[in-house]
A and B are shown apart, each in its own frame.
Chain A
């Protein structure tokens, strides 16, 4: 009898726990999604009307004018073009070089394996800092050029380690038989290791691609004077600062407010354009991200 009441007490406590937990997680999702959906709603709303506020998940006065404005701006078109280009070229280059480096470091019989590994691990902890790096790029002629986006950050010790951990976990038997057949190290890399590494290649490629797409600071620091190499994120950043300087909301009486668009709504539209590739691809690709995150956290 006593046991039963204890059990009932416990199941009641469990129920309360479940209810509270559900409320917490639903609130978490709402807080995560609401600002994103709100931005989408604002981007489809009439500019002057949006200044009044109170738009939540649905536009009050529907218009496509904000998007027309965004796509009529030359700097945004250029930015989008450069952003796509740097994402594609940067990802291909980073994948090829990191994979090759990871392969070299994963060769157990390689003479300088541990030295090469240490050489790269050090780069994770020590860096020259912003100013020496800027001066170096200037001296190398990388500033005011497209290549500053893809060459300097190409190899990263973290991505290399993720790939290396995966390669070291592969069964050695296939490789041994290829060696007996006379395949060299390059052949083994291309035709035996790489096909087996597709999952980890996908993971690293996605990390790099998202990083390339989202980065803005390099455009500001190195290519401020070269509008032909601007990126979408940097253009968005300029829009954000123009909104902030107006104190968040455009004053309806201010000059320029006669147009149907305001900085707030144009920025919302530009934000949606910038988010769109990530949001569209995200549901299909997220499992690769998770794989990478868990491989990367495996301790040596």
Chain B
């Protein structure tokens, strides 16, 4: 392989590209890499007036405090539980939806359903949680239906019971993202060789058999890649909905790592503790993504890197 030789003539010819690169690297360092330097605060008792250099070093004290704080252990549990629940629900729903939509023979109907399906993706979480809150309020449609069919005697306040919160968050995610996530699977399904379906039809396979034996194996690589990509995001899956829908009554199941960071770091001005919580989250996310990738490699499946 011929390596690129760095000569002055070549550099001169690529002057424009070089200038751009310098600008982009400076921008990247400021806005993406400099905050990483702020991680030092987690090992300090950071005070704004003393700055990064004047603040007292406390080693791992902040981390020790974190892991002895029962609230922090609780928010880890909440973040993981909701992250996994969201991941599983949105994944399964998107795949089911894509496969079922693909079975629709009527092109106009298919197009219409698809267009409707990804509308919620473009609405902000403020709007989504707002309308969800309305639907679940004591005079909302859900209570009305449940009372009408006789499951409930009187309307209940869904946001006052701890048991409902995780399913509500999972439903909110499914409602918002199913159609959007299905786009990738629909694209993957269209790239499956149609002759496979024709052969299966001649062999007498029904629609279920074709879905099970052709469509699902056909989109398996896509499923695995997306799964790896999303596993790293499990801990990120918990901020906006929980922040917007949580309340004092259900705090113990609704608060996530990000909310903890916000409460301590911004609310209480304990920057060091907030940073430590943030580092914990970043490290776990990287471990998760590497682990998922490793598992995929071991099982001989597609991998991300």
**Chain A residues in the interface with B (C-beta under 8 A):** 6, 10, 13-14, 17-18, 21-22, 24-25, 28-29, 31-36, 38-39, 42, 51-54, 56, 97, 100-101, 104, 107, 109-112, 116, 119-120, 123, 125-136, 140, 151-152, 154-155, 184-186, 210, 213-217, 221, 233, 236-237, 240, 243-244, 247-249, 264, 267-268, 271, 274-275, 278-279, 282-283, 286, 289-290, 293-294, 297, 299
Contacts and interface: CB of A to CB of B under 8 A. Distances in A.
A138 to B, nearest CB: 9
B131 A35 contact: yes
B100 interface: yes
Contacts, number: 256
A215 B127 CA distance: 11
A32 B129 CA distance: 14
B251 interface: no
Interface residues of B, number: 95
Given A28-B113, A248-B157, A297-B184, A104 B139 contact: no
A155 B27 CA distance: 9
Given A116-B24, A120-B28, A126-B36, A111 B133 contact: no
B179 interface: yes
Given A28-B117, A36-B119, 9 more contacts: A25-B101, A32-B119, A128-B39, A131-B278, A185-B17, A214-B124, A248-B140, A264-B134, A293-B184
Given A14-B206, A100-B20, A32 B25 contact: no
B37 interface: yes
B244 A240 contact: yes
A41 B158 CA distance: 23
A32 B100 contact: no
Nearest to A11: B206
Contacts of A267: 130
A104 B28 contact: no
Interface in B132-171: 132-135, 137-141, 144, 157, 159
Contacts of A283: 115
A129 B183 contact: no
Given A31-B175, A53-B144, A185-B17, A17 B208 contact: yes
A217 B105 CA distance: 43
Interface in B194-234: 204, 206-208, 222, 225-226, 232
